[in-house]
Amino acid sequence: MADVKKIATRDSYGNALTALAAEHEDLVVFDADLAGATKTAVFKKAYPDRHFDCGIAEGNMMAAAAGASAMGLVPFVSSFAMFAAGRAFEQIRNSIGYPHLNVKIGATHGGISVGEDGASHQCCEDFALMRSIPGMVVLSPSDDVEARAAVKAAYEHKGPVYLRFGRLAVPVFHDEATFRFQIGKGEVLREGTDVAIIANGLLVNEAVQAGELLAQAGIQARVINLCTIKPLDEELVLQAARDCKRVVTCEEHSIIGGLGEAVCALLAERCPTPVRRVGVRDTFGCSGPAAQLLEKFGLTAKDIAAAAKELCG
């Protein structure tokens, strides 16, 4: 795997914004003193007149972006997931979600893999918070190709979108030449009928590896990438549940309120199926190198394979 190209999806975000801005004059960017980290600094360098630092004041930034959007601009608003979805939740809910304004929230540094900064900065609640807002689209892309496609799709979508990006460089496994992204549509990365593994974000690559591990043990897993947590690709999930009879969900997020619960809620109502949720188990994170933390919190291919085996056993 040493030759696999790795790119953090936050870098994809900054690059995608810069590329999109060339075609779309109405695209503007707001940041809260984190442009270097969220990578909107890349955009700022190319389009200094369309990048607005709001200082360390996320609440104002969200509502100001709402106002700018009401005037016809398409603001991408950035901070760390903790301070975007977390601190500014109510501004997003009331000033962006309720009026259904065309604001895109580009939140970087989602999940445990933030690493050394520790629990205060490791947002594992953003999917839950953003899913709860009516009309909000929630995206968690898995690699560079998907992240850039998601930014473009978010721009083209009319209405609020939350995009979560990661700090950690992750393998690029999609082929840009053939990849097609659509909001609300999942992607089958591996065929199988023994167990369905449904993942998003950084855990998609882990899920693919888990599929290989399981194949070695004679278990054929269907591996699904569900970048869009909301609206959920219900048909794809239901078909997987019907075909495989067992489902494992995987996300770099609390098992409360994220992809796992979205899948469980759908299956409970429409196709009761045994499920195991791989995610952060109702606990705060801690400081440490990202790779070690993913192991500590049980978010690796090995953990996913173990959950699948338990279901199949």
Residue 72 interacting with other proteins (CB under 8 A): yes
> The tokens 């005037």 sit on which residue?
71
Find where tokens 């899913």 sit.
131
Q: Site for other proteins (CB under 8 A): which residue of 4, 5, 6, 55?
A: 55
Query: Of 25 and 212, which has the nearer Cβ to other proteins?
Result: 25
**What's the rounded Cα separation, in Å, for the pair 27 and 152?**
11
Residue with tokens 């790779």: 291
Give me the catalytic one of 23, 25, 58, 90. Answer: 58
Minimal distance in Å, beta carbon 216 to other proteins? Answer: 54
Under rule CB under 8 A, residue 73 binds other proteins: yes
What is the per-residue binding string for other proteins in 152-181, x denoting contact by CB under 8 A?
------------------------------
What is the DSSP secondary-structure string of 159-211? Answer: S-EEEE--SSEEE--S-TTT----TT--EEEE--SSEEEEE-TTHHHHHHHHH
35 binds other proteins (CB under 8 A): no
Q: Please tell me whether residue 132 binds other proteins under the rule CB under 8 A.
A: no
In the bound state with other proteins, the residue whose beta carbon lies nearer, of 23 and 269, is 23
* 36: number of Cβ within 10 Å: 12
Interatomic CA distance for residues 227 and 200, integer angstroms: 5
* Residue 235, Cβ density class (10 Å: 0-12 exposed, 13-18 middle, ≥19 buried): exposed
Site for other proteins in 79-118 (CB under 8 A): 90-91, 94-95, 98-100
Residue 48 in contact with other proteins, rule: CB under 8 A: no
58 labelled catalytic: yes
Q: Which is nearer to other proteins, 52 or 179 (CB)?
A: 52
User: Which one, 4 or 57, has the nearer CB to other proteins?
Assistant: 57
What 287-293 contacts at long range (C-beta under 8 Å, 24+ apart), as own/partner pairs, is 287/115, 287/116, 287/117, 287/118, 287/119, 288/115, 288/116, 289/115, 289/116, 290/112, 290/113, 290/114, 290/115, 290/167, 290/168, 293/112, 293/113, 293/115
- Which residue in the set 8, 17, 54, 195 belongs to the binding site for other proteins (CB under 8 A)? 54
Is 59 among the residues that bind other proteins (CB under 8 A)?
yes
Looking at beta carbons only, is 54 or 172 nearer to other proteins? 54
Closest approach, Cβ 176 to other proteins, in A, equals: 32
Residues classed as catalytic = 58
Interacting residues with other proteins (CB under 8 A):
28, 49-50, 52, 54-55, 57, 59-73, 75, 90-91, 94-95, 98-100
